[in-house]
Structure 1
């Protein structure tokens, strides 16, 4: 412990700054613990848990391995099946029966990370993400030590019932210990994670996400109370998501045309629609690249992306059921010229 920490504590006490007071006291306890004075560290932490706080609902928890995440105010629309599972998580946590560890699995761009933000919003908690770039270390055994440090911090954090901890893309350290190239080192890291999950504070909500569920260590999967699959979007679900995303993006492009019937037809005639994350990027880029003098220019860009074509053919559009007016909008050709060229082709 350093002299400046004592000065900070006194300052924060008189300023009634509970957040910084607790953060500094927590750092002091961690310093005692790292220097081997475990009893004093525990005494400081027990004092913090008993003391009347200035602002009991606040929580500050950031470190070398953990960063706060801005959860925003808007949520990604989800299919009914997934939305019901998210509601189930909220119910389970609010029942306070020790169910607090959840694994979100599915393809990239299906909304796993955004749903973790939604869980934090619905529970009125702060969201913190573990930084694997900092956690994983090339030194032998250091990754396992870092995992132990992270969970030690989690278990000692102030107001644990106000936090959600996100391990985004947990497969970075939890892949199958038999199939991984560096068996010994990753096995050590995975074992450390398993032990930590078994002993994590039940007041903290843990969410992990993965794109590689089938390659995860089986023992690791069993540590979670439930696994939620995000690979359950129907084409209808994706169309609804796309429409919500488009309407949100159009707020930034006042001059853009809003032909929802044409937009739905573009999506509906595609063989397969991308996942929400990719859809969101397609829509934003199409609008950003559009010609301001042509209000509906972005529809052609969207069509090319979701239909995976480099050029839009009038005959193909006609076969897909687009009207002459819609074909003109997508090709940039006048309605009369489209009519003439289609007649010429037919004859």
Structure 2
């Protein structure tokens, strides 16, 4: 069986089971994985009939007990499903809801995150300590179970959190902290307490951590943020030793100093280097069964200086979809230039920057843009002067 078909069947089963369990978050994730596994489209992969048969097979395993979504009730008269009061309250109040799952190898392979050796060694050290926490505890020592990840948006913080959970073979529960903030006095602190009380094991990942840990020296209405930070400090001090907490932020300067001291380990994720971008581009295209000349990959990796992994993923996804849908022999560089043109960012100043940094030669740039070399050289010279 082809590797692509194995991925398809795994994602399909996950999608259908999430439907039966009424797990909205897992359903959305599984659907995204399923669609990704069939790009480019492969006619040998399961058809719609196969999907129907799989759904019938999964349904049959649930026939022993009556099925109805946990988030809905059935009217005795109309037999129609409607949201339970609890679900309606959740929708109205926008209460926090976590997503607990065991990271898949396929997900981590697809993200293709490349890390500097010092970060790899640090995470391995933390993972090793936590796996042996019981033996270490017998010697009267406490294991570090709090980690703060710092980096720009799209820099791999979430991916690294999932990687750590996968290495420790633990389920990971994720929360976007910005959704925990309420307008009611004391409401945010209560939400924080409920969140920490609900997690007794595994990995807890808190994204946008600075949203509730801002410095108490800042001006805040009625001192609410001071109360929130004090509650958070208590929860961090009382964190269950079976929980490995990972918090993420892209603005560490906003975090209160007392909270920062509760994180013995802080890892800053830098943006990928040119070699890391080249490796990422090569493997991403290979994973999605798209070929490209090595020369074009090398040039693109140089021209995308400052890109995060998320930005690279967006660029490559657009290129693959464009190639499939239009069936054109357009290179990755051509696609990148067309994107810059659409955003009105392709100009002589950028060309001069690339040439100065030796990301690309004037000759190569002339060939790509179909502009005479002498004309392009004059335009760049004017920018420099």
Same fold? TM cut 0.5: yes
Equivalent of residue 142 in structure 1, options 174, 183, 187: 187
The answer to whether the Cα contact below 8 Å between 1:104 and 1:229 also exists between their aligned partners in 2 is: yes
Match of 1:220 in 2: 259
Equivalent of residue 321 in structure 2, options 288, 293, 300: 288
Match of 2:334 in 1: 300
SS at match of 1:186: helix
SS at match of 2:212: helix
SS at match of 1:200: coil
- How far off its partner does 1:187 sit? 1.3
Q: TM-score, normalized by length of structure 1? A: 0.66
Structure 1, 304-313 or 234-243: larger mean CA deviation: 304-313
- Can you list the C-alpha shifts for 1:85-117, whole angstroms capped at 9, x where unaligned? 221221221231421111101111110010000
Match of 1:278 in 2: 311
Equivalent of residue 175 in structure 2, options 111, 114, 130: 130
**Aligned counterparts, 1:35-74, within 5 A:** 65-69=97-101, 71-73=103-105, 74=108
Instruction: Identify which of structures 1 and 2 has the higher relative contact order when contacts are C-alpha pairs closer than 8 Å and 6+ apart.
Output: 1
- Can you list the C-alpha shifts for 1:42-95, whole angstroms capped at 9, x where unaligned? xxxxxxxxxxxxxxxxxxxxx954321462322422222222222122122123
Is residue 187 from structure 1 mapped to residue 219 from structure 2 by the alignment?
no
Equivalent of residue 295 in structure 2, options 243, 257, 261: 261
Tell me how large the CA RMSD over aligned residues is: 3.3
SS at match of 1:174: coil
Q: Distance in 2 between matches of 1:104 and 1:267?
A: 25
Is residue 321 from structure 1 mapped to residue 361 from structure 2 by the alignment?
yes
**Aligned counterparts, 1:67-146, within 5 A:** 67-69=99-101, 71-73=103-105, 74-75=108-109, 76-96=113-133, 97=136, 98-132=143-177, 134-146=179-191
List, as ranges, runs of 4+ consecutive aligned residues in structure 1 with deviation greater than 6 Å. Answer: 306-309, 315-319, 343-347
- How far off its partner does 1:241 sit? 2.6
Structure 1, 281-290 or 104-113: larger mean CA deviation: 281-290
Q: Distance in 1 between matches of 2:269 and 2:321?
A: 29
- How far off its partner does 1:142 sit? 1.0
- Can you list the C-alpha shifts for 1:137-160, whole angstroms capped at 9, x where unaligned? 111001111111122222xx4xx2
Match of 2:198 in 1: 153
Q: Distance in 2 between matches of 1:266 and 1:327?
A: 15
The answer to whether the Cα contact below 8 Å between 1:102 and 1:206 also exists between their aligned partners in 2 is: yes
Q: TM-score, normalized by length of structure 2? A: 0.60
- How far off its partner does 1:302 sit? 2.0
Q: Distance in 2 between matches of 1:327 and 1:344?
A: 9
SS at match of 1:129: strand
SS at match of 1:68: strand
SS at match of 2:326: coil
The answer to whether the Cα contact below 8 Å between 2:278 and 2:297 also exists between their aligned partners in 1 is: no
Q: Which runs of 5+ in 1 are unaligned?
A: 1-14, 16-62
